[in-house]
Chains A and B, each alone.
Chain A
Amino acid sequence: MSIDKALSGTGSWLDDRLHGAKGLRTFFRKIFPDHWTFLLGEIALYSFIILLLTGTFLALFFKPSMTEVVYHGSYIKLDGVHMSEAYASTLNISFDVRGGLLMRQIHHWAADLFVAAILAHMLRIFFTGAYRKPREINWLIGLVLFTLSLLEGLFGYSLPDDLLSGAGLRITQGVLQSIPIVGTYLSFFLFGGQYPGTDIIPRLYILHVLLIPGLFMALIGAHLFIMFHQKHTQMPGKGRTNQNVVGAPMYPYFMAKTGAFFFFTFAVLALAATFAQINPVWLYGPYNPLAISAGSQPDFYMGFLEGALRIMPPWQWVVFGHTFAFNVFIPALLPLGGIMTAAALWPFLEQWITGDKNEHHVNDRPRNAPTRTALGMAAVSFYGVLWAEGANDVLAQHFNVPLYTITWIARFAVFLVPIFTYIITKRICLGLQRKDLHLIQHGVETGIVRQLPSGGFIEETRPLDEEELAALGRPVALALPSGEGGAEAEVPAPDMRGGLGRVKARLNKIVNESVPIDEHGANGHGANGHGANGHGANGHSATAEDHAAVSSGSDDEG
Chain B
Amino acid sequence: MSDSTHGQGPGEPEEGSLPGAQGETGEESQGRHRVIGTPSPAESRLLLAETAGGSAPGLPAAKPRTLPADPQDMAGAKRAEKIVAACFILAMLAGFGFIASYVIFQVHSVTNVLHSNLALGTCMGLAFLLLGVGATIWVRRLMPYVELTEMRHPMRSEPENREAFADTFKEGADTSQFVKRPILRRTLIAATVPVAVAPIVLLRDLGPLPRESLDHTVWRKGMRLLNYGANTPIRPGDFSSPGGMITVVPDGFQNDFNALAKAACIIIKFAPGQVVYTDHDYPVPNLTVKNWTVDNIVCYSKICTHVGCPAALYEETTHHILCPCHQSTFDATRGAKVIFGPATRPLPQLPMTVDAEGYLVARSDFTEPVGPSFWERGNSS
Contacts and interface: CB of A to CB of B under 8 A. Distances in A.
A291 interface: yes
B261 A195 contact: yes
Given A253-B139, A315-B344, A274 B107 contact: no
B48 interface: yes
Contact of B257 (A30, A177, A196, A322): A196
A41 interface: no
A257 B264 CA distance: 58
A438 to B, nearest CB: 23
A322 B129 contact: no
Interface stretch (A236-244, A472-480, A530-538): A236-244
A247 B324 contact: no
Contacts of A262: 132
Given A75-B110, A310-B342, A267 B312 contact: no
Nearest to A95: B113
A98 B132 contact: no
A174 interface: yes
A449 B341 CA distance: 63
A101 interface: yes
Nearest to A1: B46
Interface string A270-295: 11011100000000000011111111
A99 B104 CA distance: 12
A263 B151 contact: no
A99 B120 contact: yes
Determine the interface band of chain B, counting residues with CB < 8 A from chain A. 35 or more
Interface in A147-182: 167, 170-171, 173-175, 177-182
Interface in A187-233: 187-197, 199, 230-231
Nearest to B203: A189
A288 B257 contact: yes
B155 A230 contact: yes
B310 interface: yes
Contacts of A179: 375
Interface in B128-173: 128-129, 131-136, 138-139, 143, 145-152, 154-155
B164 to A, nearest CB: 20
Given A184-B214, A249-B146, 18 more contacts: A98-B102, A99-B116, A187-B210, A188-B210, A194-B213, A238-B28, A243-B59, A244-B29, A263-B128, A264-B132, A288-B257, A295-B324, A312-B342, A316-B344, A321-B378, A325-B344, A325-B372, A328-B373
Interface of B: 2-3, 5, 7, 25, 28-29, 32, 45-48, 56, 59, 67, 102, 105-110, 113, 116-118, 120-122, 124-129, 131-136, 138-139, 143, 145-152, 154-155, 203, 206-210, 213-214, 228, 247, 249, 255, 257-258, 260-262, 264, 302, 306-310, 312-313, 324-328, 338, 340-345, 371-379
Which 9 pairs between the two chains have the least Cβ-Cβ distance?
A: A274-B121, A174-B307, A239-B28, A263-B132, A260-B135, A267-B128, A321-B378, A271-B125, A325-B373
7 contacts: A74-B108, A262-B132, A267-B125, A267-B129, A296-B324, A314-B328, A321-B378
